[in-house]
């Protein structure tokens, strides 16, 4: 019997589970505990994708809305207001919504699975994670000042880092500080600091530089979600990336179950994710070059360029695309 094991319980794992069960494939979900992000923004595009995957039109009902980004970046003397359309939710709250109708593991299955989808580390020893940067972020729970525009989020660059303030309701927000110490960044802030009343908890640290596993799959396994790629939160929406990877990864596994050339479909998956990672690095490069104002920024840009050179070289070695997605299914081209 063709069976699949999914390791972890994040957004990618939820999507893979949903799509593979819809395809009639027996699953074993191995839960892996890991820290959850306190707040994530979910764009309209990602909302539509998740609604399509889970067939739940009310999946995002009642969540806090962000309608504007207020940005003070690089050499701009005044903030720029940009229209935005996203919802804010904690990662755990989103997972709770996605798993409301989750089916139990297939208890009839025994023995080893035909495939394993890794959505959390560790990966097989044959896969190596490549990091392009070393920057860390610190997240703080924040009480907003009275009168703050809770339909906006604020982004500000400084000489040795950047700040991002994201409201989660009418009174509270999460502050993300990257680069220098939070105290030093806020001491020189002209925008974000104006919205903060005080912190309400200790800060939590986590890496926020781009990372990718290589290879992303092999005979009988795939890496997906945060186990496959990690994105700079300034330039990428993790929930959207995880959903798209899960859609493609599930289609690859279903194609293999139906007799497709395993090496070919894995190669397609690897190349598609690698191309998406390079695109993310290009966006990072543009943002960081626009914000550059000293040695810290120059170092980040140099590391991003290293990633671009590496990913470009890997893509040059890749075969042309032989498949494409048709809805949630993988089909051969030509």
pLDDT tens for residues 259-307? 999 999 999 999 999 999 999 999 999 999 999 889 999 999 999 999 9
The whole-number pLDDT of residue 118 equals 96
- Flag whether pLDDT at 107 surpasses 60: no
Give the model's confidence band at 98: pLDDT under 50 very low, under 70 low, under 90 confident, else very high.
Answer: very high
Weakest mean pLDDT among 101-115, 189-203, 238-252, 257-271: 101-115
- Residues 137-148 have pLDDT tens digits of 999 999 999 999
What are 14-29's pLDDT values in tens digits? 999 999 999 999 999 8
Instruction: Say whether pLDDT at 63 is over 60.
Output: yes
Mean pLDDT confidence for 130-137? 95
Mean pLDDT for the stretch of residues 84-100: 91
Is the pLDDT score of 33 beyond 50? yes
Q: Per-residue confidence at 112, pLDDT binned at 50, 70, 90?
A: low
Q: In which order are the strands placed within the sheet that holds 128-131?
A: 128-131, 211-214, 229-230
The pLDDT of residue 203 is: 86
Domains in the chain (CATH in brackets) are 4-38+90-134+208-332 (3.50.50.60), 57-89+136-207 (3.30.9.10)
Instruction: Return the percent helix, strand and coil in the chain, to nearest 5.
Output: 35, 30, 35
DSSP state of 72: E
Closest CA to 253 of 266, 240, 241, 244: 266
Which two three-digit tokens encode residue 181?
């110490």
User: What's the predicted TM-score (pTM) here?
Assistant: 0.94
pLDDT mean across residues, the chain = 93
């Amino acid at each position: 019997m063709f069976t699949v094991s999914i390791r972890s319980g994040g957004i990618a794992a939820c999507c893979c589970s949903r799509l593979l069960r819809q395809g009639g494939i027996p699953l074993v979900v191995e839960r892996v505990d890991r820290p959850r992000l306190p707040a994530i923004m979910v764009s309209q595009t990602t909302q539509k994708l998740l609604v399509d995957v889970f067939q739940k039109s009310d999946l995002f009902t009642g969540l806090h809305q962000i309608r504007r980004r207020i940005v003070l970046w690089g050499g701009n003397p005044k903030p720029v207001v940009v229209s935005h359309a996203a919802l804010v939710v904690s990662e755990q709250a989103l997972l709770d919504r996605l798993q409301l109708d989750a089916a139990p593991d297939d208890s009839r299955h025994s023995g080893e699975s035909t495939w394993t989808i890794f959505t959390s580390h560790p990966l097989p020893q044959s896969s190596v994670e490549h990091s392009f940067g070393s920057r860390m972020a610190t997240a703080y729970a924040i009480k907003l000042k009275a009168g703050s525009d809770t339909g906006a989020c604020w982004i500000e660059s400084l000489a040795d880092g950047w700040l991002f303030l994201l409201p989660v309701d009418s009174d509270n927000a999460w502050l993300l500080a990257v680069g220098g110490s939070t105290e030093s960044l806020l001491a020189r802030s002209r925008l974000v600091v104006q919205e903060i009343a005080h912190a309400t908890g200790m800060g939590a640290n986590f890496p926020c530089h781009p990372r990718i596993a290589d290879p992303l799959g092999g005979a009988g396994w795939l890496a997906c979600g945060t186990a496959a790629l990690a994105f700079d939160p300034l330039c990428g929406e993790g929930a959207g990336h995880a959903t798209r990877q899960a859609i493609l990864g599930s289609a690859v596994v279903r194609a293999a179950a139906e007799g497709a050339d395993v090496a070919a479909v894995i190669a397609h998956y690897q190349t598609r994710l690698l191309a998406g990672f390079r695109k993310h690095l290009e966006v990072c490069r543009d943002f960081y070059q626009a914000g550059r104002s000293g040695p810290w920024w120059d170092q980040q840009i140099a590391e991003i360029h290293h990633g671009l050179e590496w990913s470009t070289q890997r893509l040059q070695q890749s075969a042309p695309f032989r498949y494409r997605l048709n809805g949630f299914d993988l089909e051969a081209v030509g």
